[in-house]
Chain A
Amino acid sequence: MIPSIIDNIRYQTATLRKVISNGSSWILLYSGLLTFMLMIYDLGYQKPDHHHVFLRKYYLLFIVFVLGVYAIRNLINLLNRDLEKKYRRMDFVFFVAFLFLYLWLIREINFSWVKPVEAYYKYIIGVFFVLTLIYEYSKLVIKFYQKNINPAFIFVFVFFLLSISGTLMLKLPNATYEGISFIDALFTAVSAVCITGLTVVDIGSVFTPFGHKILLGLMQIGGLGVMTFAGLIGRIFSSGISFQQQMMLNEYIVGDKLNEVSRTILKIVFITLLVETVGAAFIFFSTMDIEFATFGDRLFFAVFHSVSAFCNTGFVTIRDGMTSDVLKFNYSFQLTVAGLFLFGGIGFPIVFAFYKNIKLFFFNLFRRVFSGLRSVHFAHHFDLSSKLNIYTTLSLIAFAFVFIWFFEGNRTLFEHGLWGKIVGVFFAATTPRSAGFNAVDMSLISMPTVMLYLLYMWIGASPGGTGGGIKTTTFSLAVLNFWSIASGKEKIIIFGREISQESIKRSFAIISLSLIFMGIATFLIYSFDGDKELIKIVFDVFSAFNNCGLSLGITSELTFQSKFLLAASMFIGRVSALTLFSAFLYKKRLTNYKYPTQDIIY
């Protein structure tokens, strides 16, 4: 009798905990959204003084409220251990973080190193709020995942929402000095979210520092979104079973797959931020000779370009970018940027392997120096995709290096010395896939280079990275497939593995769709802007669809319709045409029957 009562109580508390946990999530989500909007108002508009006072009070109040919620949650977590460890830990981390924020805001904490960022306190609060929002949102969204929603659809929808909200944010009065037309705002926002880098206005002079911060945020979210979401979607499609089924299966087999998924996402976020920080530091020190108004500007310059490079966007806040007088001969800056976009583009698995190796190196160093122990070696294993990826990337870079050295060495790069030429050619050889920083004056490059750029933009970066295009693996599969067909082989065999038919078919679909979409876009844009040269339009379309960002200089002169079409191309290119189609067509059908096979003659 008594045990049953205890059970009952336990059951009741568990229900209560669930209700509180869910309820608090929803409350935080909505109040967070409200705060977020207020914050946009705060940053985006000019306003009277009493609003400032009110907003500051409101922020403090809200932080106290959030603190309260997290305190209650942590209390429950302490008593009830049903919730996964990860969530409990996260709740605790958030509690501590907000406590810190609160103390700092009411001047209880006054470290000297916090001083320089004092002026940016609104942004810091903003970041905290956004993180909370994301955390609560993802907690809730995982529940949606367990229902049968087409993940491709979610992906497309999220990017669409991001683009729209980015547009609205760029339309804020404080984001630009002299206002911006709707289509230009849309274009820039899509360009940032889709981490393309095509511009219709000069990023440096049209947008205010606040506008730059919006762009930075959009790029970062876009880049992370692509790295996390796209990879997951690829996994879902490649495994053949639906996400939901996979989840259910894994719940039985592995126990907690979702946990693994979110751990991967966290890992990606962590490494992205790490690489970007290191990159920002490098850029910071390599641009010492550029004049900046404040230290904060200098820091922001470094962060902005680090993120822009790692996410393969290609936004530059200095007019003319790499060809401007201040950056033209700054080779260490160029190399840093090139290194960052290569890292961003090569795909997360390889970056992660690289990170692990570096960590191991320091670990071993530490062991040797302090403990005198021998080095430890771990078996690090690249999967086939990564191997293929590395080989393709390296050969593409090598080929482009020679090609551009030959065609541009004495043309657009004539004013550089040998070292400058090497850096310049290397930069020019890597940037079309699909970083989009222009290494040389694009209006002067030779025709063969333009054609090479078209090809390279189309190939793009590697899967699991921030770059666009059809991806290196797709391209190499296309070439390998051709090779084995011409050799009369039945299958593609590489590194002792047979490539699955599914992969080949997917590559084929990706390639044909990309061509069809680019063809249609070129066709339409040329009919709206018939006065431009065809090659320039083709170049812009390739650049947009493959999220590169290079241009032969006509983007800002295009008509309204063409700009819209380019923005649409960027979007479709980003979510990938195949995903877009899947978002509307994907249907899981159980086919337990087979039709007779049939060959086709060509």
Chain B
Amino acid sequence: MKISGIYNKIWKQTLKFRKEISQTVSGVILYTGIFATCILVYDMGFGQKGSEEVHLHDFYEAVKWILLVSFSVRNFLNVFNRDKSISVKILDAIILGLLIFALRIFNPHSSLHYLLEYIPSYKYLLGPIFLLIFFIEYSRNAVAYYSKKLNPALIFILSFLFIIIIGAFFLSLPNATHGKITLVDAIFTSTSAVCVTGLVVLDTAKDFTGLGQIVILTLIQIGGLGIMTFAGFVGFMFSGGGVSFQQRMMLKDIGNSEKINDVINSIYKIIFIMFLIESIGALILYLSTPSELFSNWTGHVFFSVFHSISAFCNAGFSTYADGIYNVDLRFNYTLLLTLSGLIVFGGIGFPIVLNFYRYILFQITNVWHFLVNKRRFEHAPYVLNLNSKIVLITTTALIVIGFVSFFIFEYDGVLREHGLWGKISTSLFGSIVPRTAGFNSVNMSLLSFPTVILMVFLMWIGASPGGTGGGIKTTTFAIMIMNFFSMAKGDKSLIIQKREIKSIAINRAFAIVMMSLLLIGLATTMILYFDPQFYLDQIVFEVFSAFSTTGLSLGVTSGLSDGSKLVLIFVMFIGRVGSVTFFSAFLFKMYKKKQTYPTYEIRA
């Protein structure tokens, strides 16, 4: 009895000690990460070759070692810690691996040292690692701190705002652009990247240096990740109704300490799958483009990675001159189809991707077992919930409609220069990019009017919830359509696939549709006022593109005045965080009223 008591006490003390160590380590990593990132920014943004170089090199050396030690300690502790989820541990291990890898590369005696020749500067390797560490540590801490204090919608908005400002700052660094960049243009580009829109006021290929492009890439990646993770949770909170995120968290804290880990766990799962798909995409892109197009190997790899990320995040930025429309690329149908695949995967929403991933994994294990253990095939329980079903059906329908319409409308138009297979691929690409990727493989100014309207429509609908795309979302659109049919039929409630849709869900769809239209109307009015020299269709297209974070344009973006650019920035931002989320950041209160009022019909 007594012995076990002492044992317990020791165990408790050990736990406490471990907790303290891990907290210290976290602090060290966070602050080192911040500091190192700042120095790196200064170095890359303003740095000249000279005497500082040596000092900074030493500094980086020191930072590397500090981080290496901290992560070793953390990984060591992880081994004995059962509370932490497996994906957290894996991520820590990956970072440790990266650090060791970096150390090996910089060691002149190492066999990996030759790899350094492929990179313009060692900073391009260190930078992403620092940023990754900084980002992960920051978000880990931020989630823990702020979720209990602030309105989650506000956190979401503030973090986006924060990243946009940082991004704008990065882009205005002297080394980021070849020429000068105005503040509005920097903010515009940063917003466009973080909101994964893809509208450009400067030519990404010509006006930005390698550093600038890397900044844009990072912003896209952060933006895409942020949306997939955070937006999901904000949506989750709203769909829960009544109970706030904070309350939810607190409830979970009390009820089950594992739950917050669950949240973090699924964040890591999202990150993991995202990287996996992007890597596969980058690989295919790499293989599908001939290396003659690029000056060197690095350029080729960077092209693949950039476009893979840009496509998966539904951003639509391109580092190639003229983008995908370039003669080198627009006849490369494998490239088009790969990009289409990435866009669809990015836009269709995480739940379905996860489902798909599990299914693939299951089949692979099945094959493995069949080959190695001679076991029979098992069938996966393949259950899609109603949301996913709606998403799949709507997405498929929209792609097919878009494809057929594009094919018909443009058969003698922009598709003339392609063969049959090319026409098919280009039409498919043309029907997928408006939702809401924003690459263009055709000359936008030559599109026929029906195609333009079709694109506006597709942009407005956008991608699916839980994905990287924008727009009002496929589910919203589906509910809208189903609602008026059910109203016209005189049904009492909206029933889809033998499920009654909650009235709050319909109201939410209504709010989203309404706000999107009011906002687009308002923005169009303002831009028409600022820039009366453009036509309505051009501006409407631009505003729809910005609101749905697509990034297609009829070519007026760079010609707009600063006022219009600011309007577009605002529209992109609201379109990204969602108008309902945006306004709820200021309005949301924990309404939990007990009393009910008499219900009343409104004539309409």
Contacts and interface: CB of A to CB of B under 8 A. Distances in A.
Nearest to B512: A602
B484 A485 contact: no
A588 B490 CA distance: 7
A451 B498 contact: no
Nearest to B465: A601
Given A490-B242, A503-B604, A602 B532 contact: no
B583 to A, nearest CB: 4
A589 B491 contact: yes
Contact of B603 (A385, A578, A585): A385
A515 B521 CA distance: 13
Interface in B223-265: 235-236, 238-239, 241-242, 244
Interface in A577-593: 578, 581-582, 585-589, 591
A391 to B, nearest CB: 13
A75 interface: no
Interface in A70-126: none
B580 A486 contact: yes
Most chain B beta-carbon contacts within 10 A, residue among A454, A455, A508, A578:
A508
B588 A587 contact: no
Interface string B449-491: 1100100010000000110000011011001110111111111
B509 interface: yes
Contacts of A500: 599-602
A527 interface: yes
Contact of A534 (B480, B508, B536): B536
Interface string B370-398: 00000000000000001100100000000
A498 B598 contact: yes
Interface in A546-602: 578, 581-582, 585-589, 591, 594-602
Given A454-B521, A578-B484, A602-B512, A499 B506 contact: no
B354 to A, nearest CB: 14
B593 to A, nearest CB: 8
A234 B472 CA distance: 30
Contacts of B504: 490, 599
Contacts of A474: 604
Contacts of B532: 447
B410 to A, nearest CB: 14
A599 B600 contact: no
B514 A509 contact: no
A503 B502 contact: no
Contacts of B604: 234, 463, 470-471, 473-474, 477, 503, 506-507, 510
A143 B598 CA distance: 36
A481 B449 contact: no
Contacts of A237: 490
A359 to B, nearest CB: 24
A589 to B, nearest CB: 7
B514 A599 contact: no
B293 interface: no
Contacts of B387: 600-601
Interface stretch (B97-105, B331-339, B430-438, B523-531): B523-531
B449 A526 contact: yes
A446 B588 CA distance: 37
Nearest to A470: B604
A527 B502 contact: no
A505 B588 contact: no
A342 interface: no
Contacts, number: 247
B499 A523 contact: no
A601 B528 contact: no
Contacts of B473: 602
Nearest to A230: B603
B444 interface: no
Contacts of B390: 600
B601 A507 contact: no
Given A489-B591, A511-B513, A384 B600 contact: yes
Contacts of B490: 237, 582, 585-589
Contacts of A231: 603
Nearest to B477: A512
A519 B590 CA distance: 39
A332 B456 CA distance: 46
Interface residues of B, number: 83
B503 A501 contact: yes
B292 interface: no
Interface string B401-414: 00000000000000
Contacts of A591: 491-492
A490 B490 CA distance: 24
Given A486-B584, A598-B386, A602-B476, A384 B602 contact: yes
B2 interface: no
A600 B489 contact: no
A380 interface: no
B505 A498 contact: no
Contact of A385 (B492, B589, B602): B602
A491 B241 CA distance: 11
Contacts of B487: 505-506, 509, 578, 582
Interface in A154-197: none
Contacts of A482: 510-511, 514-515, 580, 583
Contacts of B510: 478, 481-482, 504, 507-508, 511
B501 A598 contact: yes
Nearest to B531: A447
Interface in A430-479: 446-448, 451-452, 454-455, 463-464, 470-471, 473-474, 477-479
B535 interface: yes
Contacts of B10: none
B86 interface: no
B598 A533 contact: no
Contact of A596 (B242, B494, B499): B499
A388 interface: yes
Contact of A586 (B242, B488, B501, B603): B488
A523 B453 CA distance: 7
A513 B510 CA distance: 12
Contacts of A388: 602
Contacts of B287: none
Interface string B208-236: 00000000000000000000000000011
Given A512-B483, A597-B501, A240 B513 contact: no
A600 B511 contact: no
Nearest to A577: B484
Contacts of A488: 238, 244, 584, 587-591
Contacts of B515: 482
B601 A238 contact: yes
A538 interface: yes
B480 A508 contact: yes
B502 A538 contact: no
B514 A511 contact: yes
A330 to B, nearest CB: 32
A463 B603 contact: yes
A527 B449 contact: yes
A289 to B, nearest CB: 39
Contacts of A503: 600-602, 604
B392 to A, nearest CB: 14
B602 A601 contact: no
Given A519-B457, A599-B505, A505 B494 contact: yes
Interface of B: 235-236, 238-239, 241-242, 244, 386-387, 390, 449-450, 453, 457, 465-466, 472-473, 475-476, 479-481, 483-492, 494-496, 498-515, 517, 521, 524-525, 528-529, 532, 535-537, 578, 580, 583-584, 587-591, 593, 596-604
6 contacts: A231-B603, A511-B514, A526-B453, A587-B490, A591-B492, A602-B578
Given A485-B511, A595-B500, 10 more contacts: A471-B604, A486-B588, A487-B589, A497-B598, A526-B449, A526-B453, A530-B449, A535-B536, A588-B490, A602-B509
Which 9 pairs of residues, A with B, have the shortest CB-CB distance? A581-B488, A509-B484, A451-B525, A486-B583, A598-B499, A509-B487, A600-B505, A503-B602, A498-B597
